[in-house]
Structure 1
């Protein structure tokens, strides 16, 4: 009997899979930190025979090339992927044999031109599952605008037909194993659920419940910005990422840290947003360690700048290191582990206020308040705090001259992006107030205004 194990990467909203018959294993769309896969393989005494990619990924660097080399497995990519290293190229209809498992290749273009899915069959021929990559997701499909603007509409039509094909050719009870769709920006629209079958998708997936043009129009309307680092992932994945290095960066002391700040280097403080607000080194940036770290640090990071981390422990630095190598931030200039007073060494620490939407409401009763909305355009379009100025986080660094001096309250959907924005804004001449609250509270307090005539200012 075939067993499929899920390897979750919640910070990127992705999943990798290990399918095994108890003796041999096949790995699908592995992340770059392959030690997680190797731990599973070693614990069960498995032989990895194939490492499969559904497509060249745009949201992370693959661990497939290194994993195949480490295990002696065949590295399998779709035909016309553009990969520049040795691999087995497969096309529609090809069948791979791995112990008692059979994997049938289905060309499912849409997320990319070359995208394939792998139908998983047991020895008796029964299809028990399908690895759908960025094609059929849970209640959604993969986005279709990552190749080029000129290709987007055509790929959206192709995505519709790919999902329709999966339903035609696979039994309703076959399990669906997507790579994207658990918070990944590779999903065109929000997904729902954590498990599903082909049959369940018939009544839940827009590519199966809408007419073709309705689906195309809905998907295109739902596309919004995606992280800037995506542009770097595809080319590196085609050329082959280097072997991963998870070792800790060199420790630096407070004096060296301050020298690096003065030199304009990137200093990222991983502490919780409230702790950062209470006291931090001037001109350091707060990217709180958690599931959002890699997305937003990767999005905003200036890739040619030396990067030093500040953490509360070696464990915290190691976790951040793992997250960052997943998107190719390999070269860390160092790490500082100490309390803020020790790192400051009698130097001045900066701080700013933390409040919530109730605090903002009380402030507004006293008079006008300068408010900054750091959310995306699609969030802004659904409603915003009255009198707020819109400046998406990913645009903030280039638009600082548009932010007024004096006191500025900054909010987002949960407080995480607002904490990054507050750390960017926290400079002499401004007083920042971080709204550390869920946006739903703004609605409950009656602070929300709705856009009129498409106004997203």
Structure 2
């Protein structure tokens, strides 16, 4: 038996490839199927089942494309109602792959169809659980995503999750390995550990959610401090449940090089958003007016989802040469399939054609310290927990995820400084504000990580783990 975790850092997502004898199973695959097909061919095995722990909200699964290419059926837990052919398993139903078995444990709470897959090895010993978004390392799945579809409150769903964990997960042996669907950085939980694999026994000891004295305490603690989910989540659920275009079609459509004239004409005709995926260090020096910067070398896909939201939005790309296919692939992972093409030769071709450009005023932390005084207006776009841990004194907390709400409150007649932790998120914010005509600001290079090395007054530090 072989179990391989295929972890994608940008999404903090774990897919699983399992082989026994001449058969394989894949759990929660990503959108592009090539990595899985290559593994199957290399191992000379047949894909027998594609297991989905639930209808994912934060990414588009590759279940449909993978099923079409291999003939393997898709398996969901009880109560799932996909708009395509699939096996809807019963609670405790067993599936055989080679000499191993996978039992479906219905564990609703994160969503109503959420299920955990319990693996028994060749000797019949219960070895591992693939817990999806039911149980993370250090946390459990957020119980507020399925409220509308389930016609239930988040408190009711949290109570259901408690019952699932107590009846299905906690009775399992301590030496069982836990393979979750997500790790630290995912918006599907709030307190995940950086590790991606652990034993159930250790989680019973260290996971706050598994150490609550009763259901009431569990519900209160799991819901406490839960931020609003990214707005694109519902659209991804719809794609995973209802279907989508094949990845190959999306890649072929988007992989469309355009010269500067064709790019400009298409932008004007289509109303496409110009997405510049270069680094903040390059973007601020010069870019196409009204471009939005979300750097590829960062949490690219989740921030695209959070900032653009509408997966149907037409997009034109400005990329570093050679990264175009990677950008289109990573966009497709969160359902943004409507890429119309990219600027051939990147921003340099635009600049060399003498077309209009724009820039962001970026300053060093030292310059910030020199210009800062008690009357300075500072906007901190980090998450609430980061801000509460430590921030520039009197800085305004304005999380990037909420920029759609707070951008309209900015008075552009008054200069302000803007920063995040390192410069990635603040440049996203700067580009969005700039595209809305808000330009009277300075963005701080290096963010708070560098600001705190200066003499600028800061709040007292509070450990984030205790917030």
TM-score by length of 2: 0.89
- Measure, in 1, the Cα distance between the counterparts of 2:27 and 2:346: 42
Query: CA RMSD for the aligned pairs?
Result: 2.3
1:448 to 432, 451, 458: 458
Alignment of 1:230-309 (within 5 A): 230-245=233-248, 246-247=251-252, 248-260=254-266, 264-301=271-308, 302-309=310-317
Q: Greater shift after overlay, 177-186 or 438-447?
A: 438-447
Deviations along 1:36-65, whole A, 9 cap, x unmatched?
A: 111111111111101101111111111112
- Partner SS state of residue 448, structure 1: coil
Q: Which residue of 2 aligns with 1:354?
A: 362
Which consecutive residues of structure 1, in runs of 5 or more, have no partner in the other structure?
Answer: 452-457
- Partner SS state of residue 183, structure 2: coil
The alignment status of 1:420 with 2:419, answered yes or no, reads no
Classify 1:19/1:429 alpha carbon distance in 2 versus 1 (closer, same or farther; 3 Å). closer
- Partner SS state of residue 171, structure 1: coil
1:176 to 158, 178, 192: 178
- Measure, in 1, the Cα distance between the counterparts of 2:157 and 2:181: 18
- Measure, in 1, the Cα distance between the counterparts of 2:457 and 2:268: 40
- Partner SS state of residue 84, structure 2: coil
Count of matched residue positions in the alignment of Structure 1 and Structure 2: 448
2:344 to 327, 332, 337: 337
Alignment of 1:342-421 (within 5 A): 342-344=349-351, 345-365=353-373, 368-405=375-412, 407-421=415-429
Which consecutive residues of structure 2, in runs of 5 or more, have no partner in the other structure?
Answer: 462-467
- Measure, in 2, the Cα distance between the counterparts of 1:318 and 1:257: 17
Alignment of 1:97-246 (within 5 A): 97-148=96-147, 150-212=152-214, 213-245=216-248, 246=251
Classify 1:205/1:423 alpha carbon distance in 2 versus 1 (closer, same or farther; 3 Å). same
Q: Greater shift after overlay, 394-403 or 50-59?
A: 394-403
Contact 1:84 1:238 (C-alpha < 8 Å) held by counterparts: yes
Contact 2:232 2:306 (C-alpha < 8 Å) held by counterparts: yes
Deviations along 1:382-436, whole A, 9 cap, x unmatched?
A: 4432233333323324543422225332112332111111112236662432223
Give the superposition deviation at 1:305. Answer: 3.6
TM-score by length of 1: 0.91
Classify 1:337/1:70 alpha carbon distance in 2 versus 1 (closer, same or farther; 3 Å). same
- Partner SS state of residue 221, structure 2: helix
Q: Greater shift after overlay, 196-205 or 421-430?
A: 421-430
